[in-house]
């Protein structure tokens, strides 16, 4: 039995009753019931790599995926026994279990009507199975250690959006202040695909302070109360309500329905209300920290998400024994992801900046330590090396590399656009030298598309562009170019001159 299977079986033995007083669990026992539980999982993925993620899900879980119209999300059905494998997927950032999907939600005309409907919706949703999955999932979930403050200006804007007479009445009734702010942001929303309003229902600061005191005195006598928050992600067509209002009213109704306690930061359950045009998906978050952070401990100024690194590597279809090089590796996100997922290949990470090489080496070393602690035995190590070099002059034999995957300096936070005019053609030339003619391939990420296109136009004899994936990197419109090395042998410029010489 695999470790994952064993962990899953143990988890199925976990009592589902612990916190869920209002959710009856019937049947002979939680294990037998949960074993047959089928649920839909939603996952956020790097934009442009939805199909790659769908392919990974099909390959590893045998489930086919629905790719959402709302970019950067996929959905697939699983049996709860596969939950541990879902957390091991390399292409997904955040996971949630779907409570209900409305493909064409009948939004009413006025804000008051829509918000009233959201309130009524809370009590009508099929919460039971998703909550069982949430409960089983708590043992898989990596706890988030640090949260980031969000920009106060946008918070202010949300504050004003939420004001109104009607809402005051509702807030009094439910014990929430209106216009409460999302003072924290989860990695979930770092997905740049989600260019949308994000609001989270928050309890009144004062009320929650008071509640905390009250809670501490009640603690000894009363069983633990579930804490929750609602996060609304709203995008697309203009809606007559803000995400703040939707989160607040939907959250208020959930509180009434389950008798849970709203808590912005120390929540147990995070309910997601994802609204995209006329589509609504209500879900329960299964990840607290984005899975893309799993490999890296020493971050640099432009560390790439491991999920995007996975997508780029996968585009090149690595084969056993392939030599895979990232010649501008920074913190090593790409080769580290490569060495973890394609351990039957050899990965080389290089950079001209000694600080970057150091970070990459530290990241490799932390990962080894982590896996030794986890496995409880001395690890075999990872098939990876980190080297300091200049991409324009690589210490590698001509035609010795199968795959090059790299994230080139965009010329914004790293390097400069001006320098890219010299760097990009030199990179492409040197990469064409080391890459095996006929079979070699490269996946190159850049936002400096104009410069890249110009550099590539002079290299048609050695590189053929096969495919472009448009991605969004921290709000920048970037591209991953998949190139194939043509069969033409590399001819050094000096030899080219020689050919032209008559003697």
In this structure, what are the phi and psi dihedrals at residue 4, rounded to the nearest 5 degrees?
-65, -45
| 409 scored as a contact of ligand SAM (CB under 6 A) | yes
Segment contacting ligand SAM by CB under 6 A, of 8-16, 53-61, 324-332, 373-381:
324-332
Instruction: Locate all alpha helices (DSSP H) within 270-403, ordered by sequence.
Output: 306-315, 333-341, 354-375
Euclidean distance between CA atoms 127 and 474, whole angstroms: 34
Buried-exposed string 400-425: b where 16+ CB fall within 10 A, e elsewhere:
ebbbbbbbbbbbeebbeeeebeebbb
Nearer to ligand SAM, 185 or 414 (CB): 414
Among 232, 235, 312, 328, binds ligand SAM (CB under 6 A): 328
Among 83, 356, 367, 478, binds ligand SAM (CB under 6 A): 356
Nearer to ligand SAM, 271 or 408 (CB): 408
* Rg of the chain (C-alpha set): 26
Euclidean distance between CA atoms 186 and 198, whole angstroms: 10
- With H, G, I as helix, E, B as strand and everything else as coil, classify residue 146: coil
Q: Please say whether the beta carbons of 337 and 415 come within 8 A.
A: no
Nearer to ligand SAM, 39 or 329 (CB): 329
Residue 465, H or E segment: strand 463-473
| 330 scored as a contact of ligand SAM (CB under 6 A) | yes
Smallest gap, in angstroms, from Cβ of residue 308 to ligand SAM?
9
Smallest gap, in angstroms, from Cβ of residue 83 to ligand SAM?
29
The two three-digit tokens of residue 163, written as one number: 């004001």
Nearer to ligand SAM, 263 or 448 (CB): 448
Among 114, 333, 367, 479, binds ligand SAM (CB under 6 A): 333
Compute how many residues bind ligand SAM; rule: CB under 6 A: 22
Length of the chain: 503
Tokens 């004899």 belong to residue: 461
| 200 scored as a contact of ligand SAM (CB under 6 A) | no
- With H, G, I as helix, E, B as strand and everything else as coil, classify residue 148: strand
Nearer to ligand SAM, 271 or 304 (CB): 304
x-marked contacts with ligand SAM along 362-401 as a string, rule CB under 6 A: ----------------------------xxx---------
Among 182, 351, 430, 448, binds ligand SAM (CB under 6 A): 351
In this structure, what are the phi and psi dihedrals at residue 256, rounded to the nearest 5 degrees?
-65, -40
Residue 472, H or E segment: strand 463-473
Smallest gap, in angstroms, from Cβ of residue 333 to ligand SAM?
3
Euclidean distance between CA atoms 285 and 133, whole angstroms: 10
Smallest gap, in angstroms, from Cβ of residue 307 to ligand SAM?
12
The two three-digit tokens of residue 139, written as one number: 């043992």
Smallest gap, in angstroms, from Cβ of residue 353 to ligand SAM?
4
Smallest gap, in angstroms, from Cβ of residue 289 to ligand SAM?
18
Q: Cβ atoms within 10 A of the Cβ of 244, count?
A: 29
Q: Please say whether the beta carbons of 232 and 273 come within 8 A.
A: yes
**DSSP secondary structure letters along 163-231:** --HHHHHHHHHHT--TT----EE-GGGG-TT--SEEEE----HHHHHHHHHHHHHHTTTSPPPPEEEEE
Instruction: Locate all alpha helices (DSSP H) within 226-305, ordered by sequence.
Output: 243-258
Smallest gap, in angstroms, from Cβ of residue 441 to ligand SAM?
18
Smallest gap, in angstroms, from Cβ of residue 368 to ligand SAM?
18
Nearer to ligand SAM, 120 or 390 (CB): 390
Among 23, 415, 417, 436, binds ligand SAM (CB under 6 A): 415
Segment contacting ligand SAM by CB under 6 A, of 183-191, 321-329, 373-381, 495-503:
321-329
Smallest gap, in angstroms, from Cβ of residue 309 to ligand SAM?
7
Among 255, 303, 420, 447, binds ligand SAM (CB under 6 A): 303
Segment contacting ligand SAM by CB under 6 A, of 36-44, 91-99, 106-114, 331-339:
331-339
Among 150, 414, 453, 491, binds ligand SAM (CB under 6 A): 414
Which parts of 283-302 interact with ligand SAM (CB under 6 A)?
300, 302
| 451 scored as a contact of ligand SAM (CB under 6 A) | no
Euclidean distance between CA atoms 248 and 246, whole angstroms: 5
User: Which residue, among 14, 46, 31, has the nearest Cα to 333 in the 3D structure?
Assistant: 46
Nearer to ligand SAM, 289 or 407 (CB): 407
Residues that bind ligand SAM (CB under 6 A): 300, 302-304, 327-331, 333-334, 351-353, 356, 390-392, 407, 409, 414-415
């Amino acid at each position: 039995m695999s470790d994952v299977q064993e962990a899953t079986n143990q988890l199925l033995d976990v009592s589902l009753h612990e916190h869920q007083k209002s959710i009856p669990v019937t049947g002979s026992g939680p294990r037998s019931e949960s074993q047959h539980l089928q649920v839909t999982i939603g996952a956020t993925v790097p934009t442009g790599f939805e199909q790659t993620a769908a392919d990974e899900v099909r390959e590893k879980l045998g489930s086919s995926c629905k790719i959402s119209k709302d970019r950067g999300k996929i959905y697939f059905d699983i049996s709860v026994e596969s939950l541990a494998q879902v957390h091991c997927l390399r292409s997904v950032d955040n996971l949630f279990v779907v409570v209900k999907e409305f493909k064409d939600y009948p939004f009413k005309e006025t804000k008051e009507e829509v918000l009233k409907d959201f309130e009524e919706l809370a009590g009508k949703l099929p919460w039971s199975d998703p909550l069982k999955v949430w409960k089983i999932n708590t043992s898989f979930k990596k706890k988030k250690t640090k949260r980031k403050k969000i920009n106060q200006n946008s918070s202010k804007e949300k504050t004003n959006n939420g004001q109104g007479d009607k809402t005051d009445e509702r807030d009094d009734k439910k014990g929430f202040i209106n216009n409460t702010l999302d003072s924290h942001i989860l990695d979930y929303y770092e997905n740049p695909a989600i260019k949308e309003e994000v609001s989270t229902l928050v309890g009144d600061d004062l009320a929650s302070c008071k509640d905390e005191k009250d809670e501490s005195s009640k603690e000894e006598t009363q069983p633990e109360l579930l804490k929750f928050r609602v996060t609304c992600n709203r995008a697309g067509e203009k809606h007559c309500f803000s995400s703040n209002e939707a989160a607040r009213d939907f959250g208020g109704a959930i509180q009434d329905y389950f008798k849970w306690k709203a808590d912005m930061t120390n929540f147990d359950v995070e309910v997601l209300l994802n609204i995209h045009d006329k589509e609504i998906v209500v879900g329960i978050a299964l990840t607290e920290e984005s899975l893309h952070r799993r490999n890296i401990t020493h971050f640099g100024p432009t560390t790439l998400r491991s999920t995007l690194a996975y997508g780029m590597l996968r585009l090149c279809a690595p084969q056993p024994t392939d030599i895979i090089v990232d010649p501008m590796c920074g913190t090593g996100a790409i080769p580290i992801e490569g060495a973890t997922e394609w351990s039957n290949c050899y990965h080389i990470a290089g950079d001209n900046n000694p600080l970057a090489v150091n970070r990459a080496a530290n990241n490799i070393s932390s990962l080894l330590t982590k896996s030794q602690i986890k496995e409880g035995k001395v690890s075999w190590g990872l098939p990876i090396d980190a080297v300091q070099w200049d991409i324009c002059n690589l210490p590698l034999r001509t035609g010795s590399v199968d795959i090059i995957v790299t994230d080139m300096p965009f010329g914004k936070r790293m390097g400069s656009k001006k320098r890219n005019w010299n760097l990009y053609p030199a990179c492409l030339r040197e990469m064409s030298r080391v890459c095996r003619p006929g079979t070699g391939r490269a996946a190159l990420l850049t936002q400096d598309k104009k410069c890249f296109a110009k550099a590539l136009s002079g290299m048609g004899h050695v590189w053929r562009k096969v495919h472009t994936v448009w991605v969004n990197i921290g709000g920048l419109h970037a591209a991953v170019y998949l190139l194939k090395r043509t069969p033409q042998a590399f001819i050094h410029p000096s030899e080219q001159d020689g050919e032209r010489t008559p003697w």
